[in-house]
Amino acid sequence: MGVQGRSMATRIAQRRERLYVDGEWLETEDVLSVSDLAEGGAFAQVAAAGPAEARAALAAAHESKPTLRETTVVEHATWCESIAERLRERKEELTEVIVREAGKPISSARGEVEQAAERFDRAAEEARTIVSNGEYREGSTAGHEGWQAIVKHEPIGAVLCITPYNYPLATTALQVAPAIAAGNSVLLKPASKTPISSAILADIIADVDGIPDGAFNFVPGEASEIGDILAGDDRINAIAMTGSSGAGKHVARESGMVNLHMELGGNAPAVVFDDADLTDVAGNCAKGSFKYAGQRCSAISRVLAHESVHDDLVDILGGQMDVWQAGDLFDENTAFGPLISVEQADWVEELVDDAVEKGAEIVRGGERRAPEGVPDELADQFFEPTLLANVPHDARIVDEEQFGPIAAITTFEDEAEALEIANGSDLALDAAVFTSDYKRAMRMAERIDAGAVRINGAPSHGLGDIPFGGNKDSGIGREGLDASIHAMMRKKSIVL
């Protein structure tokens, strides 16, 4: 594994990570080079799995199923609690890695490590609760009088976890922790841009006593090389994925008869009525749009303001933007850093340019501008916090996922038009409604097509204690620790 124990802001020699398959650490000729979004250059490499390694991991995960079925929920919970403890022990190392590979400010990166650890702790609790609440049933139809049955939970089998770059440890924990807690074997395929925090997690899991060889496999690699091999194999029983809608659709086409558990793209609308507290709205929308440079599935991507309050909201939101500035990622006061890649910055710029061409007004920002001291190679990945006003309804940014620091404000005349705009996108993950009218809030929440609607607050998925997920192109099923464990188990009826 890579080097540990160093001061937070001074990079040491490049770390090198390996694959973990069937209880063995493996090297390969091909590697993934991981960019340093704090200081430029590359700070790590990880061995890249090819088709042979992917097939070996599939075989190992499959062959470990009978052994895992003999283990108990007490063992699974103990494993999860051990993982949580060791994540906390390596918090400083993991924090630095997340800062560098994901371009996340240190305060956010530190919180992500604790969130990941807590998810393993909570998964242990949830697994104990689920298996202790089996069902007893009696026959209730003619001809089945006197039948008795118990309905119990059992592992679904092998779970392929495909994780994203934006929360490289916390979202990975939200998939891996339920899979382990449910007693499944796991194949972890991390995002190619952010595999190092997952490599550390693999190192932690490999050292936990009692987890059988083959029960956990770490297979970083290019999706074009191993993605279809993993997703299309009949030995996979469930696929947990967080990513774009396009990638999710591709995986769904390749997979066979498996449980799909997907949280995909988002384009959350914040619907603001004329009776809302606009100062509160502005604060929530700023955080919802600009946190981690907008690279969050639950980010507020479009603000739908009643036409009577549009101008006031623009003024108030514009006045709150000074605190959202890029800077040194190791500075506790930095709000956000670069976008994950030049290509992502290109995409954000394309959506902003389209909106402006169609009549939107740039109130603040709108440029690719890096803070002082940023290496030249990273400069083009920075996009200013941007406030767009009077965005036309036909602008692409109203309907398409942006993943950038943009607050795009458009208007509506009445509830019907607000619903038409909010529901006009193919994405339906999250939404928010701001109003002081309780009945209207509930009416809108019920009619907006989204997996979750927050009333008078920005969308947030938290630790996963409340189920979340998307409708339409935003996903299949619901995530959350309890929901995910259920999705990664199957029920067996035993008729007595």
In angstroms, rounded to a whole number, what is the distance separating the alpha carbons of residues 253 and 228? 10
pLDDT (tens digit, 9 = 90+) per residue, 374-388? Answer: 999 999 999 999 999
When pLDDT is cut at 50, 70 and 90, the band that residue 11 belongs to is low
pLDDT (tens digit, 9 = 90+) per residue, 113-156? Answer: 999 999 999 999 999 998 888 899 999 999 999 999 999 999 99
* Res. 416: pLDDT tops 60: yes
For the chain, the distance separating the N- and C-terminal CA atoms, rounded to the nearest angstrom, is 51
Residue spans per domain, the chain: 15-264+475-495, 268-462
* Res. 3: pLDDT tops 50: no
In angstroms, rounded to a whole number, what is the distance separating the alpha carbons of residues 15 and 240? 28
DSSP for residue 473: T
The answer to whether the CB of 205 falls within 8 A of the CB of 73 is no
- Predicted model pTM: 0.95
Cα 71 to the center of its chain, rounded Å: 29
Between the alpha carbon of residue 175 and those of residues 123, 152, 158, 487, the distances in Å are 10, 22, 13, 11
Q: CB under 8 Å to 214, separation ≥6 — which residues?
A: 22, 23, 60, 61, 63, 64, 67, 185
Share of the chain above pLDDT 70, in %: 97
- Return the exposure string of 282-302: e unless at least 16 CB atoms fall within 10 Å of the residue's CB, then b: bebbbbbbbbbbbbbbbbbbb
- Spot the catalytic one: 93, 126, 297, 401: 297
Torsions phi, psi for 440 (to 5 deg): -65, -40
H helix and E strand count, the chain: 16, 23
pLDDT at 177: 98
Tell me the three state secondary structure of residue 51. Answer: helix
- Return the exposure string of 224-254: e unless at least 16 CB atoms fall within 10 Å of the residue's CB, then b: ebbbbbbbebebbbbbbbbbbbebbebbbee
DSSP for 100-116 reads HHH---HHHHHHHHHHH
Cα 242 to the center of its chain, rounded Å: 5
pLDDT (tens digit, 9 = 90+) per residue, 92-122? Answer: 999 999 999 999 999 999 999 999 999 999 9
- Spot the catalytic one: 263, 384, 400, 479: 263
The answer to whether the CB of 346 falls within 8 A of the CB of 380 is no
Domain boundaries 268-462, corresponding CATH code: 3.40.309.10
Using left for φ > 0, alpha for ψ between -120 and 50, and beta otherwise, residue 385 falls in beta
* Res. 10: pLDDT tops 90: no
pLDDT (tens digit, 9 = 90+) per residue, 236-252? Answer: 999 999 999 999 999 99
Closest to 178 (Cα-Cα) out of 261, 265, 92, 252: 261
pLDDT at 9: 52
Task: Report, as an integer, the average pLDDT of 338-351.
Answer: 97
For domain 15-264+475-495, the CATH class is: alpha beta
pLDDT (tens digit, 9 = 90+) per residue, 31-42? Answer: 999 999 999 999
Q: Which amino acid is at 82?
A: S
Strand-strand pairing, 406-412 and 471-472: unpaired
In angstroms, rounded to a whole number, what is the distance separating the alpha carbons of residues 90 and 100? 16
Which helix (H) or strand (E) segment holds residue 408: the answer is strand 406-412
Catalytic site includes residue 285: no
Q: CB under 8 Å to 133, separation ≥6 — which residues?
A: none
pLDDT at 12: 47
